[in-house]
Amino acid sequence: MTDTRTLLEWSARYHANTYGRAPICLVRGEGLRVWDSDGREYLDFTSGLAVVALGHCHPRVTGAIQEAAGTLLHVSNLFGTVVGSEVAATLDRLIGGPSGRVFFCNSGAEANEAALKLARKYAKERFSSDRYEVVATRNSFHGRTLATLSATGQEKYQHGFEPLVAGFKHVPYDDLGAMERAIDSRTAAVLVEPIQGEGGVHVPDEGYLPGLRKLCDESGALLIVDEVQTGMGRTGTLWAYEHAGVEPDVMTVAKALANGVPIGAMLARESVATALGPGTHASTFGGTPFVASVALATLTTLLEEKLPERAARMGRRLMDGLRGLQSRHPSLGEVRGRGLLIGVELARPAAPLVAACRDQGLLVHSAGEQVLRLAPPLIVDEAACDSALATLDRVLGATA
């Protein structure tokens, strides 16, 4: 195998310079752990940015990949497939509420693009041709395509890419009054994360989503919930909006849906979904039999192994443990989150801490400059939680 130094040089030289990459090359993963090209082992509390909910190389996911690869890898969406229909029906059953429709694509951004296009088409057909605006929230993250970047409420990601797509307004998160003032006769939809992930793990007040539901019902705007990061059990329920006891009109899912095989999905209520007829939207690789098989295996395993419940339990253990560290480490601020999407506010930059944890065999990420983000696979157990807490304790002590 090529030596690590050369691999890192090639990466720095040949990859587009869009990521601030850590100076390691990962070669293998199993469960909660990954190994680098020098044989070092890491406990992975990132899950590839909230993707591998079942852990690395889960045997049922690997089995589904192998079987699909030898059965039917790809056909166009102009044909139906057995597993494509099965996964669509399964998702429909799992979102609860009235039955709807799903559009499959390849990423979270693409799922949000589909939702934004649907909202415009629906509002124009149902109400009037100048009803196309979407109200999103400050500090949100919805993707990097031009429309989803325009929906994202963080200028640092938008800078240099102007002019942005027209028709987006931003209001502070968790502020129903501001949302009420922003919604008017041109509002097609409200787009919101049930917990802001990339923006620093912000959990809104429990009345926020029900309040948004009410505002949307009163105005005719669609409620689009972006479950790309929070979905698939991460927050302790299959979908994070379940905590609030409301149902969205449209929701988007990606990341963990096929445990690492690229997929996105946009689900909409039947009465809304019909606005997108044949030929109005498409994606070549969306929901191929291959990815549909993997998504089906992921969903089935996640539910059979009761991983949302485990996420709730392990999340409590981690958050309690983190709060326990606060007295010894004054730089540890607020601990917030739900289930296994956890943010820790720091009184210092997160990047050196992330690097020090990695040197000690623990992979974590930051969300923003001063928030440490923990998002382990949902299969995480007590011992792994305690080991991660012990590493953090050590690293915080050594780098204070």
Ligand X SMILES: Cc1ncc(COP(=O)(O)O)c(C=O)c1O
**Shortest Å, Cβ 152 to ligand X:** 8
Residues in Cβ contact with 346 at an 8 Å cutoff, skipping those fewer than 6 apart: 331, 332, 333, 353, 370, 371, 372
> In the bound complex, which residue of the shown chain has the CB atom lying closest to ligand X?
108
Q: Which is nearer to ligand X, 264 or 396 (CB)?
A: 264
Residue 193 found at the interface with ligand X (CB under 6 A): yes
Judged by CB under 6 A, the stretch of 37-45, 138-146, 231-239, 359-367 that binds ligand X is 138-146
Taking CB under 6 A as the criterion, which residues in 34-93 touch ligand X?
49
**Closer to ligand X by Cβ: residue 228 or 273:** 228
124 closest CA partner among 168, 188, 182, 184: 188
Mask of contacts with ligand X, 108-127, x by CB under 6 A?
Answer: xx--x---------------
Helix axes 307-326, 382-398, angle to 10 degrees: 30
* Cβ–Cβ < 8 Å for 266, 114: yes
By CB under 6 A, the count of residues binding ligand X is: 15
H-type helices in 137-287, by residue range? 146-151, 155-158, 176-182, 208-219, 270-273
Q: Which helix (H) or strand (E) is 34 found in, with range?
A: strand 33-36
User: Which of the following is catalytic: 103, 226, 249, 290?
Assistant: 226
Stretch that binds ligand X, among 162-170, 193-201, 280-288, 333-341 (CB under 6 A): 193-201
Outline where the chain has alpha helix (H).
4-14, 47-50, 59-69, 82-95, 108-126, 146-151, 155-158, 176-182, 208-219, 270-273, 289-304, 307-326, 351-359, 382-398
> Binding mask 340-379 vs ligand X (x if CB under 6 A, - otherwise)?
----------------------------------------
| CA angle (273 as vertex; 272, 277 as ends), nearest 5 | 125
Is the bond into 308 cis (omega within 30 degrees of 0)?
A: no
Give me the residues paired with residue 110 across strands: none
Cβ closer to ligand X: 124 or 144? Answer: 144
- As beta bridge partners, residue 30 has 33
Catalytic residue at 290?
Answer: no
135 DSSP β-pair partners: 169, 190
Considering the complex, state which of residue 37 and residue 139 has its C-beta at the smaller distance from ligand X: 139
Residue among 135 and 332 whose Cβ is closer to ligand X: 135
Q: Which of 123, 189, 192, 254 binds ligand X (CB under 6 A)?
A: 254
Residue entry with tokens 């609030």: 244
Smallest separation, CB 202 to ligand X (Å): 12
Please give the residues from 142 up to 181 whose contact with ligand X meets the rule CB under 6 A: 142-143
Binding track over 256-295 against ligand X, x by CB under 6 A? ----------------------------------------
User: Contact with ligand X (CB under 6 A): which of 150, 229, 283, 293?
Assistant: 229
Q: Are 359 and 398 in contact (CB under 8 A)?
A: no
Select 44 or 198, whichever has its Cβ closest to ligand X.
Answer: 198
Burial class of 325 by CB neighbour count within 10 A (0 to 12, 13 to 18, 19+): middle
Q: Are 142 and 109 in contact (CB under 8 A)?
A: yes
Check 45, 103, 141, 168 and give the catalytic one.
141
Secondary structure tally for the chain: helices H, strands E: 14, 15
Least separation in angstroms between residue 307's CB and ligand X is: 19
Closest CB to ligand X among 83 and 111? Answer: 111
Q: CB 115 → ligand X: shortest distance, Å?
A: 10
Q: 141 an active-site residue? A: yes
Q: Among this protein's residues, is 386 annotated catalytic?
A: no
Active site residues: 141, 226, 255
List interacting residues with ligand X (CB under 6 A): 49, 107-109, 112, 141-143, 193, 197-198, 226, 228-229, 254
